[in-house]
Structure 1
């Protein structure tokens, strides 16, 4: 039974979004699913040691390992892809047949596969001669997902396609897996963002598709309903970038989100250069969509974290990011108006939290002023959707007395969401007395057991200087045992060690390594800590190695490919003269 947790959790995650989407389209849950779940699945499933949706478990630890992003996000994303493969009506029929056939009995994936076979047979659904059971079996039993490479011959219109397993680490050796890959695409001259019907299933490593000849960009995976990334030849990327920079709304907002997420992944994996990647991302300086900025913030933050050990590089990178943020901050505003579009609120929360965290002058100044007014008149609360960045920035710039006031407010609150917002903010302090109080709260009953791991993470992420203080706290007395008991699960203590290592500087990593090696009996999880230290050092080395290329690419991404654009113009003229 534990082998197939994905069926339970995948369907639960799917209907969490699409059940409500059926009755409240204004909540944009179908679109939000793509950036929250499908893109999360792509992130979780990009390493060589990832697990398939169905895999055998033989121990409690392996059972716990099933409850990860693979079962939830990839399971739900697989169902979405399957729905668009067979049509929504046949998808519903298949689920009905499955439930009726297995009512009051146990079920296996094969029962689900057979239900889809029967439904597609009844509805005469034939897609490129596809065997639906084979399709489902491959996606359920094979870990990972493909990268689709698209190379367009502008003169003939012939598109050469290849697929390969995508690995996020550029040093991972290539492997030979293939997937039955449902293809959808649209082009600049024949735009149709609403046709999500699968036109072809790519079952081999290579394939060709003919389109109209001419100088024209294409985008595959329309509205990103398929579990795969897409990389184009350089010329096609340049044309997509040109379109995005001149009118980003010409490309569907979900495909803009896809492009942003894919670009960061392709740069990380070495599939494209930073120069090309940041040229494509230049449109973010104009685009204010939540769907573009959610993956953008994740990507920018990932790079920033690799620069934390290089203050000068980080400062320059942050100053450049301010320019990317100006338009979206102007759009989301520093206050929360009534009757706004639903997705404006999370966009504001995430954008302003990121902006204030990297020291954006306007964001910091406004947050400090809002926090000052709140301290002067506590009866006038900060809007709930602004508290994350206002409280965090206020305490980062504030005093120990400010910290105590928020702590007291948290203790007296009976609103769980409000409590968590304040607990997160308490971790942003850099006052040594407040940091000491916070760490003692973690090992006491002042913080709920289920919130302790998050509390430690917020302390470490809220202010990088806190990592050294937490390491010293961990080393003192019997605090290791206290922390272990506080977070309850062994896996949770492993998370604490891994998170700590990710925020330490070079000297801190050396000290943590020395402490673990000298205290192996007191810290039986020392191998987890040492592995986390090696990962942190690798991340720092990646930042050191890539810093020059990234800064050169991002300093003026709008002009770095001028020679390529001239090539585009020359090609257009040549085509016109044929």
Structure 2
């Protein structure tokens, strides 16, 4: 599954994370109580002003379905409403970890599912019948399945002997007597208790009928809608990952329990349906429902329940062979680009993996309402509209690349995730990390001019560094159980860090060995499940066969240090300038140093556990690559040495004189940061400042030097004067990657200084750096410009306008006014697509209600999803407090025009506005119950809102206030628990940063601007 690109854009490295529950949460709240008490003593007067709501009772998301769609009066088994979280966490209660795994006495062989969704009847329910053929591995009196938010008709539940025959059919045996039925609400179990045991080695047929709810929380089998000529059109669609297939049919809802599925969908005769497999035969009438037809689909290959999908809609489609794309009729032409690249990427992966695509067809569909970015259902990939649709001349280059990237990601999953599936969500990263890396290869195959492989460093690797540098980060491979825990690890660690360490493997094994090893792994486990050890075994076998790895080394030994412990290393490079030797020392990189004695540090000690088989806490097997001014080589990424989970290593003399720099981690292929001794930093800064020679350092490594130095300074490891001196060379830099890396890191400083009286000094310095590049790129968007030139222009203009650059602001306002003056602004927009972000935001920021209202009307009327997204972000740029307050209110108001999936986009846009951030946080705190009720347990939305609204908190008073909020609502945070904990740690880090760095940075800025002025 691809997370929402909007959500990922707002993460800024501070993504919700997960850590082991045992003892962790309890100690967290204990620490918070102590810290809050201390802060309250300091700022008691201010804190007492606030009144927090008492803890509300926990209620599951959504509403339970009514029985209105079922004819008859049979009794039903209904999950009881829970009054506390499934796994309660309070400072005074220690509960044993709840085992939510299904018993292993039976497992599914095949499903037959028949579903009738009542889309236009007004009650939004669906009737279902499911039959599961089960295999019995040991005698048992119980059959346990998952169910959630559905009502099972008790008098329809049957268990019957099922005996296959030699001709492929089966004979039906006797019906077994059922003693009683029960449900375990906390575990979401439906249990059939039998009067006689099932026999080991035999098959049985389990059948039942049920009724469910086409909910509006974008989970399970849910409803979506859109409007044509003021008429509402409804859609019924699915989103099952990770644990919501059980909302659509009773099932064995665990990834390892694969089975074949034969699905029948009843639909209104004026609509169509699609599912994982092609339709078999003609549609048939539904008895008793004259307006409905049955569509029957072929039996699937063995697959996990979370990959089952079906959609009922009135959409249009276009096809190329057996590859089809679906969208609203009004938007179907916007799917042409996806159809153009989709088959090409699919064919590329067939060659890359060496395995043909296993299914007879592929459908991709763009949905108006979708909580994630996309979902890799086998043979039927579902997308947000913004993730699949692109309109030339209206959508931006970035929109186009986003579409290509998401399509590539989901198609990669058809092999890595669907063909071979992780045995349990512990290894979710195998799915998401691999697809997040290989997506770049797929896009590069169809759009090589974009240089997307270079972009990986800034969009994934450096992005996730910021998150993994926090004490509350988590291991890539981590034990999870309850659905809330599973949901929490769909974060940047599983995606971005997973992708980064797979890229690292690709480089240290060589691409040829890596590809052959992956193919060996897929062939050995296809249509089955696996663990990361299966992948390590296949890669080790291939690496030894091809002499790519020392026979005494294994991929498991190396990679366990990256997947089974938290964080990543910092390599300290100390040179002996007399002998030429280099001493390396590794330690875990943390944004907050242990010496700070953080009030929250104790709570995180359990997350930094040593990997089994490693040589100790915080030690990694690190591939060492380097080059020097003596003979600069920024192409060879094969490791020269291995740092084998040892704290220190001395390298033989390097080929560099005492007056020549060395650079480690070529192309930043290793997942680690590098710090140098002061002399080497001085040599690097001197060389970068030489405008005639700095480009001899590779582009990716220039981006690395900027990102590493600024984040080392942020962590208190490197003097900020040194780090900021590295940035001075940017006045002559014209390449996108170094600028993007620098602006990402400098953006943190900007967010900390923007509310202070010395922000003007930062503005002066930044405008000075930007001036040369601003003149070079200009304000005119040239459609023939390379992708990275377009990105460079957009980034520079965004910063220039936000800093008040006169020419930038004037151009933006003029272009926006020209648009407003157009006789038909919905058909004639003179603003170049790539400049819309900066023009819209700047004009709304310096304008008033008229500009905001104009943009809001364009948002309501546009038919292009990417245009809606740009406008949603720009509407948060206003400086009018009342407008922003109203906008926040609309984000969680039914029928306001803002879809639930976009609520986080609104909060993020306002929180990124210096004026809006306090408003957004205040709204989150004061309207928490309303937000939670409206959005339910949406996988990404609430967590993203928490992160965006709190990431700029940097004063003791605000931190204390956030602690009070966390304490007041600790019982009902649900899946947002880790997001709030993450916010607390980030806020405290910000407070410490201000105490340590504010004055030194202000002095440095004052000195530099004074020198420039003289």
SS in 2 for 1:353: helix
- Comparing 3-12 with 287-296, greater Cα deviation is found at 287-296
Q: How far apart are the structure 2 equivalents of 1:554 and 1:104?
A: 60
| Displacement of 1:9 | 0.5
Matched, 1:138 2:589: no
1:255-314, CA deviations, whole angstroms, 9 ceiling, x for partnerless residues?
00111110111101111101111112211111121101112111111012222331x211
Q: How does 1:349-498 map to 2 (within 5 A)?
A: 349-377=794-822, 378=825, 379-444=828-893, 445=895, 446-462=897-913, 464-470=914-920, 479-489=927-937, 492-493=941-942, 495-498=944-947
Note the residue ranges of structure 2 that are not aligned, 5 or more in a row. Answer: 1-423, 598-607, 609-615
Q: How far apart are the structure 2 equivalents of 1:208 and 1:20?
A: 40
Q: 1:542 aligns with which of 974, 978, 993?
A: 993
Q: How far apart are the structure 2 equivalents of 1:108 and 1:517?
A: 36
Q: 1:87 aligns with which of 502, 510, 524?
A: 510
Q: How far apart are the structure 2 equivalents of 1:521 and 1:275?
A: 41
Q: How far apart are the structure 1 equivalents of 2:431 and 2:1005?
A: 44
| Displacement of 1:407 | 0.5
SS in 1 for 2:758: helix
- Comparing 356-365 with 144-153, greater Cα deviation is found at 356-365
Cα separation, partners in 2 of 1:360 and 1:487, compared to 1, 3 Å: farther
Q: How far apart are the structure 2 equivalents of 1:470 and 1:128?
A: 56
Q: How far apart are the structure 1 equivalents of 2:956 and 2:678?
A: 41
- Comparing 282-291 with 483-492, greater Cα deviation is found at 483-492
Any conservation in 2 of the 1:453–1:487 contact (CA below 8 Å)? no
| Displacement of 1:49 | 2.4
Structure ranking higher on relative contact order (CA contacts 8 Å, 6+ apart): 2
Q: How far apart are the structure 1 equivalents of 2:656 and 2:641?
A: 20
Any conservation in 1 of the 2:572–2:676 contact (CA below 8 Å)? yes
Q: How does 1:196-215 map to 2 (within 5 A)?
A: 196-203=637-644, 204-209=646-651, 210-212=653-655, 214-215=657-658
1:339-393, CA deviations, whole angstroms, 9 ceiling, x for partnerless residues?
1111112222222222222323332222222222222234343111111111111
Matched, 1:236 2:680: yes
1:167-199, CA deviations, whole angstroms, 9 ceiling, x for partnerless residues?
111346899421111011111011111111111
Q: How far apart are the structure 1 equivalents of 2:985 and 2:470?
A: 17
| Displacement of 1:417 | 0.6
Q: How far apart are the structure 2 equivalents of 1:514 and 1:102?
A: 47
Q: 1:297 aligns with which of 743, 751, 763?
A: 743
SS in 1 for 2:681: helix
Aligned match of 1:571: none
1:9-62, CA deviations, whole angstroms, 9 ceiling, x for partnerless residues?
111111110122245432111101111111123222112222111111122222
Aligned match of 1:554: 1005
Cα separation, partners in 2 of 1:43 and 1:514, compared to 1, 3 Å: closer
Q: 2:434 aligns with which of 3, 6, 11?
A: 11
Cα separation, partners in 2 of 1:217 and 1:273, compared to 1, 3 Å: same
Cα separation, partners in 2 of 1:88 and 1:392, compared to 1, 3 Å: same
Any conservation in 2 of the 1:149–1:162 contact (CA below 8 Å)? yes
Aligned match of 1:565: none
Q: How far apart are the structure 2 equivalents of 1:385 and 1:265?
A: 30
Q: How far apart are the structure 2 equivalents of 1:431 and 1:558?
A: 32
| Displacement of 1:471 | 6.0
- Comparing 291-300 with 433-442, greater Cα deviation is found at 433-442
Matched, 1:182 2:623: yes
Number of corresponding residues: 556
Q: How far apart are the structure 1 equivalents of 2:969 and 2:737?
A: 46
Cα separation, partners in 2 of 1:278 and 1:530, compared to 1, 3 Å: closer
Aligned match of 1:266: 712
Cα separation, partners in 2 of 1:237 and 1:111, compared to 1, 3 Å: same
Matched, 1:338 2:775: no
Alignment RMSD, CA only? 3.0
SS in 2 for 1:157: coil
Aligned match of 2:117: none
Cα separation, partners in 2 of 1:468 and 1:276, compared to 1, 3 Å: closer
Q: How far apart are the structure 2 equivalents of 1:356 and 1:516?
A: 35
- Comparing 165-174 with 268-277, greater Cα deviation is found at 165-174
Any conservation in 1 of the 2:709–2:723 contact (CA below 8 Å)? yes
1:527-574, CA deviations, whole angstroms, 9 ceiling, x for partnerless residues?
9879857854652453254222112233455999xxxxxxxxxxxxxx
| Displacement of 1:432 | 4.3
Any conservation in 2 of the 1:325–1:355 contact (CA below 8 Å)? yes
- Comparing 539-548 with 425-434, greater Cα deviation is found at 539-548
Matched, 1:309 2:750: no
Q: How far apart are the structure 1 equivalents of 2:800 and 2:494?
A: 33
| Displacement of 1:120 | 1.1
Q: How far apart are the structure 1 equivalents of 2:551 and 2:722?
A: 35
Any conservation in 2 of the 1:244–1:283 contact (CA below 8 Å)? yes
Any conservation in 2 of the 1:501–1:509 contact (CA below 8 Å)? no
- Comparing 503-512 with 440-449, greater Cα deviation is found at 503-512
Q: How far apart are the structure 2 equivalents of 1:211 and 1:510?
A: 48
Greater helix fraction, Structure 1 or Structure 2: 1
Aligned match of 1:226: 670
Any conservation in 2 of the 1:516–1:530 contact (CA below 8 Å)? no
Cα separation, partners in 2 of 1:219 and 1:557, compared to 1, 3 Å: farther
Q: 1:256 aligns with which of 695, 702, 707?
A: 702
Cα separation, partners in 2 of 1:128 and 1:185, compared to 1, 3 Å: farther
Cα separation, partners in 2 of 1:520 and 1:23, compared to 1, 3 Å: closer
Q: How far apart are the structure 2 equivalents of 1:89 and 1:534?
A: 42
- TM-score of the pair, normalised by structure 2: 0.52
Cα separation, partners in 2 of 1:487 and 1:329, compared to 1, 3 Å: farther
Cα separation, partners in 2 of 1:124 and 1:171, compared to 1, 3 Å: closer
Any conservation in 1 of the 2:508–2:639 contact (CA below 8 Å)? yes
Q: 1:277 aligns with which of 719, 723, 746?
A: 723
Aligned match of 2:635: 194
Aligned match of 2:763: 318
| Displacement of 1:504 | 6.5
Matched, 1:26 2:449: yes
| Displacement of 1:316 | 1.6
Greater strand fraction, Structure 1 or Structure 2: 2
Any conservation in 2 of the 1:480–1:523 contact (CA below 8 Å)? no
Q: How far apart are the structure 2 equivalents of 1:178 and 1:507?
A: 34
Aligned match of 1:154: 577
- TM-score of the pair, normalised by structure 1: 0.88
Matched, 1:104 2:527: yes
Q: How far apart are the structure 2 equivalents of 1:508 and 1:159?
A: 46
Matched, 1:287 2:733: yes
Any conservation in 2 of the 1:148–1:230 contact (CA below 8 Å)? yes
SS in 1 for 2:530: coil
Q: How far apart are the structure 1 equivalents of 2:966 and 2:545?
A: 64
